[in-house]
Structure 1
Amino acid sequence: MLTSLSDSRDYRAALSHAATADGLKAFKRDPEILRIMEHLPDEMAGPMLARAAAIWPEVLRRLPDAAVNDEIGGARVIDVEGFGRYSASTCRYVKVAAEIKAMYGGDLSQIDIVEIGGGYGGQALVIDRLFSPRSYTIVDLPEALELQHRYLQASDFRSSLRLISNGAIPASWPSSLFISNYALTEVRRPIGIRYLEAFALSASAGYVIGNRLSSKNLTKKDILARLPEARVQPEIPLTFRHNYLLTWGLARTA
């Protein structure tokens, strides 16, 4: 049974190739990889960094740390006016990290993070470089975990890394912060509910960018039914109509 929007034979094969020595060099330009990730339009890069700087001004000084995400994989970097040269995806990861910092507040170096659907590990790497959390857990397809392990190892990932296959979901996995960029609402509903019960309900706080696909996928209504304290906020900047930001245990930010 397919578990998510990205669960296909071709995509799994592309992930496995990307995790090889040769594949790692330019996987960010593989059409099959680009179908699922690394496809944010270039024109969104500036607004992403502008949003990050508006809510966490310190991020401007830390951008060179985040640029490590563009060193491996053949990232397509562009001139982002007023900020420097970065890939659009790295700009989005920085924006997410800045929002988490602004909402969470305080020192993030002693927290435990769990991310559903980690892509190739880009969000994890940017958060690692900016905040050095105590541990970072990613839950994903086995082939995606292969790539994440290879990519993060090659990028000198510093936090304690844990990788969990979507076929081996534990009953409960406590954490300080649960995050997901689109992936949670792209999985089939039964799988999404298992993720909520195992990871989200046992997290002290959560940050989820969601989208609206179909009744077969986990919905905003499904999340709010199990996390009634969660708040729905706009995604800023909006990357696709009907997208939203859902948080719990975090302060609201403008």
Structure 2
Amino acid sequence: MVQYNNMKHLMENLRVKTNIPLNLVKKVPRKVITSLSDDQVYPQSCLKASNDYKFFVNFRRDPIYNRVLEHVSYGQGSEYLKLLYDRNDAEILYSISSFKKNDLYGNPRMYEYHKIGMISPTTLRYIKVLSDLKMHFQTLNNFNICEIGVGYGGQCRIINAFYKPATYCLVDIKPALDLAQRFLDNYIIPSTLSYKTMNELDKKNYDLVISNYAFTELPRVIQDVYLNKVILNSKRGYITYNEITPEEFNSYKANELIKIIPGSIILKEEPLTDPKNCIIIWG
């Protein structure tokens, strides 16, 4: 979700936002960058939030964490809410109070919105995705779901507050998974959860695969792993596509993905958050 042209830009931006001297940022042990969010500093924020209760209490306001997640603006939240009202889905709107429980942990920035009161705009975005899934697939009950790139588990919790999937596999880097588990352990989740890194994934048929930006922020060589293990074996899919990776990632473009994924089509992202963004959906 973070729009960086290259890793040098990312590191400089991190230095400015966090006041960490650039020479110290560069001293973080080097590793293979597997995605835009795997910048060696964001994972440390996730790890600290999963292990340190005092940090977990406010992790959704951490400047480093906010470079990747929890940066949806008040205005964007208003657009998501307007779309929900325009769709006039009584079931979704009636459940807002249940969805707002997502904001009980991590101390997110919340704003007062007309008719619904205080809520995080990030939570409104997760509700909008749920509304999309309901509109396209009707139900997710008894589904085996896989989500690629899970943040702190917010989308998973929103889905499980409305539907009852049979299983839900969360896939991300290990520090993010640890944080997601700490977050989700605070709730009663009807589906059986599993937490897996890319290399722990088995090749498996899923009823639905979801990825909000994360899949399209990966290098092509990593995308191929997920295509082979998950995406091409899933009956249905919902991918929020963005085009922000550096040239060296050689990430798949939207028109390439719909040629690879059988039955997939491109839909307009509503509301549009970037001119190149779109939704890739199938099934």
Could you say which TM-score interval applies, normalised by the shorter chain? over 0.9
Q: 1:163 aligns with which of 195, 213, 221?
A: 195
2:155 partner SS: helix
| 1:101-122 residue CA offsets vs partner (Å, 9 max, x unmatched) | 11101x4221111000000100
2:45 aligned partner: 14
Secondary structure in 1 matching 2:230: helix
- SS of aligned partner of 1:242: coil
**1:1-254 equivalences in 2 (<5 Å):** 1-20=32-51, 21-55=53-87, 56-105=89-138, 107-170=139-202, 172-214=203-245, 215=247, 216=249, 217-249=251-283
Tell me if structure 2 keeps the 8 A contact 1:193–1:218.
Answer: no
Q: Read off the aligned partner of 1:83 and give its amino acid letter.
A: I
Q: Report the equivalent of 2:23.
A: none
Shift of 1:84: 2.2
How far 1:168 sits from its partner (Å)? 2.6
Number of residue equivalences: 247
1:151–1:136 Cα change, 3 Å? same
Determine what percentage of the aligned residue pairs are the same residue: 30
- Residues 76, 87 of structure 1: 8 Å contact kept: yes
> Aligned partner of 2:271: which letter?
P
User: Which runs of no fewer than 5 residues in structure 1 stay unpaired?
Assistant: 250-254
Q: Does the residue aligned with 1:9 lie in a helix, a strand or coil? A: coil
Letter aligned with residue 191 of structure 1: I
Query: Which amino acid in 2 is paired with 1:239?
Result: T
Match of 1:252 in 2: none
TM-score normalised to structure 1 length: 0.93
Aligned-partner SS, 1:114:
strand
Q: What corresponds to 2:15 in structure 1?
A: none
Whether the 8 Å CA contact 1:79–1:85 is kept in 2: the answer is yes
Query: Does the 8 A contact of 1:196 with 1:223 survive in 2?
Result: no
Structure 2: distance between partners of 1:238 and 1:176: 27
Deviation at 1:228, TM superposition (A): 4.0
Q: Is the 8 A contact 1:142 1:166 kept in 2?
A: no
Contact 1:181 1:210 in 2 (8 A): yes
**Over the residues paired in the alignment, what is the CA RMSD in angstroms?**
1.4
Aligned mates of 1:218, 1:120 — CA distance in 2: 25
Kindly indicate whether the alpha-carbon contact (under 8 Å) linking 2:145 and 2:208 is maintained by their aligned counterparts in 1.
yes
Taking the aligned partners of 1:218 and 1:44, their CA distance within structure 2 comes to: 27
Q: CA deviation at 1:210?
A: 0.5
SS in 1 for 2:170: strand
- For 1:87 and 1:16, the matched residues in 2 are separated by 23
Task: In structure 2, give the amino acid aligned to 1:40.
Answer: V
Q: What amino acid is the match of 1:91? A: L
Which residue type is aligned with residue 198 of structure 1? Answer: K
Give the distance between the partners of 2:49 and 2:252, measured in 1 at CA.
28
Q: 1:146 to 1:67 in 2, by over 3 A?
A: same
State the secondary structure of the residue aligned to 1:162: strand
Query: Displacement, 1:131?
Result: 1.0
Q: Larger Rg: 1 or 2?
A: 2
How far apart are 1:96 and its partner, in Å?
Answer: 0.2
DSSP 3-state at the match of 2:185? helix
Asked whether the 8 Å contact 1:113–1:136 carries over to 2, the reply is yes
Deviates more, 1:155-164 or 1:28-37: 155-164
